[in-house]
Structure 1
């Protein structure tokens, strides 16, 4: 869901079509800045990018002539899609769900001072959380080269290459173009594995490393006994598994210092051996993780039990690939 940061900018993840009519959508982090009169999109949240890594695309709000929900004829296989008409070009974007779609269309219409037709009435974005942090601070990571093009009178910057940093957990992909939807989702009953505990919640978050203190995007999965994270959604084995019996508390991180001070939607998972700092993509997603982990920990305390099986995860959802985890001992795995 889009949210408002301390600079009064509307932020959030959307998928944008790489080239018009290409049908290839790329995951990008959007910032709607009405004071600067522009819509910017980045490879990821600027807080997680290398120093000097600017926006990969931008659009002046004064160039926008129309923002509307895409018709089935325009994008028959793309749900929650809307289109921005600017000069002679059309930008097709895909939201996470129906509410996300309506909030973005309403925000863009208001920012560009376009009147929304009654036939396509879009309600105002519901309450946006106010407890947000300061502007992003960037880490020292490898520089990224860009090429600049003028398309339809609009300056567009495209990354030439992007190298991930080395860490104890392994390297991130060179580009975030292949990131799946970062908004967490709850698998339906038909997606649950035949063996092992059913997944309660899963999705992408950004976590701080234990040694190098770098921030990396990881795919998290929560079940009745553990919360584990993977390098990416397609990986078979988790980088680390945290038994819920070791979790003491999970809550929003309100007392911050240093790099933590500059992080939005930050929560911490406090265990008997370590505190994990995790950043969600929106306030709603953060509270959903806190509630989900808290409920699972409480349920395990009320009904203590030990898993008598090896874990095997298989996730399938519309429009995404399958995540399969080979059997492994979930309680013995320990990685930093």
Structure 2
């Protein structure tokens, strides 16, 4: 299992996490699934389910392991009826949080998220009715270790980031949404890409929801692209976006968990998502998505990382400058052999881009 370090806090988070939404079965069965995930190195769990039943199973699985797992609780997801509910009532949210920490025999959550904020009016409600103040109080008391939010809307996400108080967010990332396909494909291509870069520059980690587009990307008949992707391709795509810490597929049963865990030992070919180059809108052509389908480079350049650090540096992430400088080979080592351009599914003119990148970092050094 690979782990990534949360910039604000230093927690080592597994790149594979678990979404709670669809898990079902007897309590012992669900607890066994969660224990198996932990035994295989997964340490990050989202706690928003479609009903209350999985909570008891998670509590059983986490007992004695609270210091080994990271959990994100959603302030606004409620279960007083036994089913998932969505609330902006402060007292209801307080009762739900107290119930959750009691159930898990803890006194804090690692991540406290404003739940599912997608429009301006809702954001104003959260700020005006005391929810955000309550969460900040819990943060000051240590009952929330990191403040965050979940959203599908890049414009709203950017407004919340501007508070300067966010350490982690949950956002819907997959090829369909990033290329303006599907119900939650909110925002233009470049707007979504900029959000990920801004998160990286601000040190805000992203946990990814809906990596399979609700399962539609896995089925050619349902996919907006009319062609199926694999789970491993979707996971790798999400992990290659800037700021992403972990991907949280929803699992229903042990078979789903086993399929997700195949990612750990999957080959580069099995993770290669460059096929999405056939799906991208023309306005997205010429943009490197760091898929590394251009590899192997005859000169040995890591073309995806060089492009990624350049994009991040331009957005103001000075750490990316340091990461670039530590690479064994740099943009000015390009042989201009044309190999990468022949293979690039996104029609990126890497030869001229390598010149641009080399000149940029030379100017930075002056």
TM-score band w.r.t. shorter chain: under 0.3
TM-score (norm 1): 0.28
Structure number having the greater helix percentage: 2
